[in-house]
Structure 1
Amino acid sequence: MKVGLTGGIATGKSTVSRMLSERGAAIVDADVVAREVVEPGTEGASLIRERFGEGVFLPDGSLDRQSLGRIIFADKQAREDLNRLLHPLIIRRMEEETARRQAADPHCIVVWDTPLLIEESLTDRVDWVVVVYIPIALQQKRLMERDGIRAEEARSRMKAQMSIEEKKSFADILIDNSGTLAETERQVDALWQTLVSKNGSAQP
């Protein structure tokens, strides 16, 4: 079984991913994979250099994520170009990692922890779509607190993604993370039991 886990910036997707991992899920993290495919000497790094130039790289050849981030948050076309370049590399690596996990354990529940699961039309690659949700006002507040940024910048970052309210409509299962951690844990427990039951897994 393959589950797509997504949400918006600062909604708590990573928290839910950690909780699922603790229950036995095999996490394939798109953010981790995205870093791997742009390491020095990779095809991804070469593609970024061709499109964005040397200015988004550090002297040691590694990607200057802050510089690139400033460009793509301010320029929709640049953001789309970056996604177009890296998306196939990321998906290929995620599929390879999924196959490796499933070969080791045919009954494992693989979770694709993927911020752009919906935007990149990946929902047809997973059996279940789980969306981590909080109301927009709370999302902005948590983002400001987490990253130490002003409201205007927080709104700009949020607008760079599909609205969490829109993502909500794609969910097979919705995890409401607007309450306490204990409340989120209870929802994740219920989700895990559902997944294990549907998967026919022997996991507890």
Structure 2
Amino acid sequence: MSFKHGVVITGLIGSGKSTVCALLKERGYKIICADSIAHEILELNSSKVAELFGAQLLSGSKVDRKALGAIVFANPSAKKSLEELLHPLINERICFLSNELERTGKLYFVDIPLFFESGGRAKYDFAASLLVYAPKELCLKRILRRDKADETSANARINSQMDIEKKRALADFVLENTSDLASLEHDLRAIIEQIKTKMSLLDA
């Protein structure tokens, strides 16, 4: 399925995807957030999650995401089981929302943190991919500061994702987020213009 007006935003945890999405929203762009969709679908399938990982993960009908995260980040087979349950449903929702935005004929963005890890290029034909880049060491510092996490759990979360340098090699556009907000905004404006140029060439 082709989404010729959609651009995927991806990166490593702590690289600054949320900040970039907030800046894009300020500029009036529509954002589809895979994490928000995943949270909704997780709650809708809480009983199936309990069957897989135990009823202790439920508080009423709500899933304790922190406890679930501790399980899946530490156990690759548990992570695979969760992905097999949720990913098809998440993909279906992303495609539905992308189709809705395609009808506007305007540039929009799809925030998919695990785009490359989940074989996103085979699932979706978006116009381009945009990597929000920061070195692994800087991402770790940001997670420790932001989440008040211990270094072991923060590293586990980072190591559960594809190496940022590999993502950089796969991405169509790279947005450096290693300095201050003003630099990020300036570079984002420039990349948006590059993306629009590429899209206009594709439409020609």
Q: Could you say whether these structures have the same fold, taking a TM-score greater than 0.5 normalized by the shorter chain as the test?
A: yes
Give how far 1:119 is off.
Answer: 0.4
Partner residue of 1:16?
A: 20
Give how far 1:111 is off.
Answer: 1.0
Give how far 1:143 is off.
Answer: 1.1
Partner residue of 1:58?
A: 59
How far apart are the structure 1 equivalents of 2:47 and 2:92?
Answer: 17
DSSP 3-state at the match of 2:62: coil
Residue pair 2:127, 2:199 contacting (<8 A) in 1 also: no
Residue pair 2:6, 2:102 contacting (<8 A) in 1 also: no
The answer to whether the aligner puts 1:80 opposite 2:80 as a matched pair is yes
Partner residue of 1:116?
A: 114
Give how far 1:197 is off.
Answer: 3.1
Partner residue of 1:97?
A: 97
- The one-letter code matched in structure 2 to 1:108 is K
Partner residue of 2:49?
A: 48
Q: Do the aligned partners of residues 67 and 151 (structure 1) sit closer, same or farther apart at CA in structure 2, a change above 3 Å counting?
A: closer
DSSP 3-state at the match of 1:188: helix
Give how far 1:120 is off.
Answer: 0.5
- The one-letter code matched in structure 1 to 2:134 is I
Partner residue of 1:171?
A: 171
Give how far 1:128 is off.
Answer: 0.5
Partner residue of 1:29?
A: 33
TM-score normalised by structure 1 residue count: 0.89
Give how far 1:164 is off.
Answer: 1.0
How far apart are the structure 2 equivalents of 1:153 and 1:65?
Answer: 15
Unaligned runs of 5+ in 1: none
DSSP 3-state at the match of 1:38: helix
- The one-letter code matched in structure 2 to 1:57 is L
Deviations 1:14-40 (A, max 9, x none): 11111222223221000110011122x
Deviations 1:142-182 (A, max 9, x none): 11111112322222221111111111111111011011111
Higher strand share goes to which structure?
2
Give how far 1:45 is off.
Answer: 2.6
Deviations 1:76-114 (A, max 9, x none): 1111111111000001011111112223x1x22121101
How far apart are the structure 2 equivalents of 1:89 and 1:47?
Answer: 13
Partner residue of 1:180?
A: 180
How large is the Cα RMSD of the aligned pairs?
A: 1.4
TM-score normalised by structure 2 residue count: 0.89
Tell me the number of residue pairs that the alignment of Structure 1 and Structure 2 aligns.
Answer: 194
Task: Summarize the alignment of residues 85-164 of structure 1 with structure 2, pairs less than 5 Å apart.
Answer: 85-103=85-103, 105=104, 107-124=105-122, 125=124, 126-164=126-164
DSSP 3-state at the match of 1:127: strand
Identity over aligned residues, as a percent?
34
